[in-house]
Amino acid sequence: MPVTTIDTTTTLVLIDLQNLVVGLPTTPYPGSEVVARAVELADAFHHHDVPVVLVRLTADADGSDAAPGRTEIPRPAVPLPEGWDAIVDDLAGHPGDIIVTKRSWSAFYGTDLDLQLRRRGVTQLVLAGIATSIGVESTARAAYEHGYSVTLATDAMTDQDAEAHHHSVERIFPLLGERGFTAEIIDLLAKTRG
């Protein structure tokens, strides 16, 4: 899984690292490990003055803003706890971070993410977060379709389903970009920033 380069105009995009999502049971890594690696990535990107995007999923309490299409698996009608959609404390609060709020799986659909990136001349996205096969994969597909180079920090993402995680990492991500580990990405970022 070699990452070959980190563009001079890259950004880190962290998907759904928020209170409720991080607390869910996941595999192969617990949410706390993914957050720890995401913090390492964010700290490195901040150190080199590279933009960091924090993506959060939210929804109206009554579900009126949910995607309207029919699905075989019904959406749970469970009341969500206060603050469920807040970015976890370990990542929140950096003044230069870009916050993107989404209401569907992809961080691109119905948001200003592409506009924020284009204004900054970004050509490459480094992606991490939860869940690998849903929010991360949907965002990676959209990033690829929008013409961005995509790098996936595979040890900084996890899923509720082991098979789904494996399928995304091994079958889908090589079609969309380059895969690598947190330490490799941080090392390459430092080398390209001199």
Q: In the chain, what are the domain boundaries?
A: 10-60+83-193
Average pLDDT over residues 186-194: 91
Under the banding of pLDDT at 50, 70 and 90, the label for residue 81 is: confident
Residue 45's H or E segment, with its range, is helix 31-47
- Write the CB contacts of 37 (distance below 8 Å, at least 6 apart in sequence): 128, 153, 155, 156, 182
Q: 10-60+83-193: what CATH class? A: alpha beta
Average pLDDT over residues 123-148: 98
Residue 150: what pLDDT? Answer: 98
Report the predicted TM-score, pTM, of the whole model to 2 decimal places: 0.93
Average pLDDT, the chain: 92
- 60: pLDDT strictly greater than 70: no
Residue 193: what pLDDT? Answer: 85
Under the banding of pLDDT at 50, 70 and 90, the label for residue 65 is: low
CA-to-CA separations, 147 to 19, 31, 140, in angstroms, rounded: 31, 30, 11
Alpha helices in 51-154 (DSSP H): 113-119, 137-145
Under the banding of pLDDT at 50, 70 and 90, the label for residue 78 is: low
Residue 124's H or E segment, with its range, is strand 124-130
